[in-house]
Homo-oligomer: A and B are copies of this chain.
Amino acid sequence: MGSTATTTVPTNGELMEALAAVGAAYFQDFAAAASRHGLSSSQAKALGAVQEPVPMRALAGRLGCDASNVTGIVDRLESLGLAHREAAAGDRRVKIVVITEQGREILGLIRGEMIRTHQAIGTMTDEQRVALHSVCVQVLPVLSGRTAP
């Protein structure tokens, strides 16, 4: 164990605690920005997950919740004019959620208005950005359970 010198390697617990705190703060920034545009965080999250067309079932997978739940969320997005359902060519059971122009616009506004997050990124050096991004990319397949089919 003992790497001493200047930098001490954090324990798993410390790392998890730090990750949780950052994740929570990021999420609150996101939710606040969404709410300024009249969207709940679930709705905004769903909007972000349909930047390209996605079937209902797959959307449920991306959001990590039951399909029956997605019905309601998409209902509300649709009634706000931010997305709409389309019939899938080739399988008439499937309905595909497509984001509208207005939806894309609002999504852009929300992302642009996450000021705390932008400030946080602003405090990073180029090296830190590169390192952080590469860690994220490296870790994501493991963390989301998509470890090679």
Contact = CB atoms under 8 A, between A and B. Distances in A.
Given A26-B23, A133-B10, A136-B19, A142 B126 contact: no
A67 interface: no
B142 A119 contact: yes
A131 interface: yes
A87 interface: no
B137 A29 contact: no
Interface in A1-56: 3, 7-10, 12-16, 18-31, 45, 48
A140 B95 CA distance: 41
Interface of A: 3, 7-10, 12-16, 18-31, 45, 48, 64, 111, 114, 116-121, 123-124, 126-140, 142-145
25 contacts: A7-B130, A8-B130, A9-B129, A12-B121, A13-B111, A14-B133, A15-B132, A16-B114, A16-B121, A18-B137, A19-B117, A19-B136, A23-B23, A25-B140, A25-B144, A27-B27, A116-B142, A116-B144, A117-B143, A119-B142, A120-B139, A123-B138, A123-B139, A123-B142, A124-B135
